Amino acid sequence: MQEEGKKLVLFFGPPGSGKGALSQMFVEKFGWLQLSTGNLCRKHCKEGTDIGQQINIAIKSGKLVSDQLIINMVMDYLKNDTNGCQAVILDGFPRTVFQAEEFVDLLKIYYSKFTIFFIKLLITREELVARVLTRRTCSNKSCQSVYSEREESCMPLVPGICDKCGNKLFQRDDDAIDSISGRLDIYYEHENKLLNFYKNTGQKIYNVNSQDTIENVFKNIEKIIGGECDID
């Protein structure tokens, strides 16, 4: 049974807008759960599962993974991993209208009592490219923490090493210069359709300026969703 007072936070924004880093901060500060479809995809790739092999091709070429694979992964995750948590952050899902439509059904099953906060991160394309090119990710598939080579507050304590688990950092293939432009185009292609879908379903969308220090962006989101209320 779901209890009242639980929160579902949807981060929506282009690659590099800070979804992953902000999610990590909420996980660390409040013990919330992060469902990152990007992390799930990369985990499957590393494990070399059947799904992983299909996903690998899409990710490496900067394309979206098929809607049905994503929905199946999310459903598996929700069935097993969200029991007993106070808040769940969705990072990178839903990303297409098809996924959003399917998600409406999932909401009824898993999140009927959750308050939903839809957070849209605003940032210029120029800044996104700079961020993605300097993003580094932990190579440990169970960690995948994100760091920056450019933003001081997001740098690792030891260059090239993850603060949390001590594994090596690397640059994702899809964060290389060749992939970024295409990835941003794909994101923007879906953005308007998704926003219209949410507006039509009456979902309130909170716009947050993400072109600021990560600490300030975090504080602004915290004010919207009232994070401090959830520590028990």
Taking the complex as a whole, the smallest distance from the CB of residue 186 to ligand ADP amounts, in Å, to: 8
Name the one residue in this structure whose structure tokens are 């640059």: 171
Q: Beta 169-170 vs 7-12: how paired, if at all? A: unpaired
Q: Which is nearer to ligand ADP, 174 or 230 (CB)?
A: 174
Is residue 18 part of the contact set for ligand ADP (CB under 6 A)?
A: no
78: how many CB neighbours lie within 10 A of its CB?
16
Between the alpha carbon of residue 82 and those of residues 1, 43, 115, 215, the distances in Å are 12, 18, 15, 27
131 as an active site residue: the answer is no
Report which residue's Cβ sits closest to ligand ADP. 38
Question: Which residue, 2 or 53, is less far from ligand ADP as judged by CB?
Answer: 53
**Binding of ligand ADP by 64 (CB under 6 A):** yes
Give 134's Cβ-side CA count (13 Å radius). 17
For residue 206, give the nearest of 87, 95, 116, 118 by alpha carbon: 118
Site string for ligand ADP, 35-54 (x = CB under 6 A): --xx--x-------------
Taking the C-alpha atoms of residue 184 and residue 179, their distance in angstroms, rounded to an integer, is: 9
**Residue 65 engages ligand ADP in binding (rule: CB under 6 A):** yes
- Grouping H, G, I as helix, E, B as strand and the rest as coil, residue 167 is coil
Q: Which of residues 88-127 bind ligand ADP (CB under 6 A)?
A: 92-93, 95, 99
142: which DSSP letter?
T
Give, as ranges, the residues between 136 and 175 that touch ligand ADP (CB under 6 A).
Answer: 174
Single out the residue of 33, 45, 70, 87 in contact with ligand ADP (rule: CB under 6 A): 70
So which residues are the catalytic ones?
Answer: 19, 95, 135, 172, 183
User: Which residues contact ligand ADP by CB under 6 A?
Assistant: 15-16, 19, 37-38, 41, 58-59, 63-65, 70, 92-93, 95, 99, 174, 183
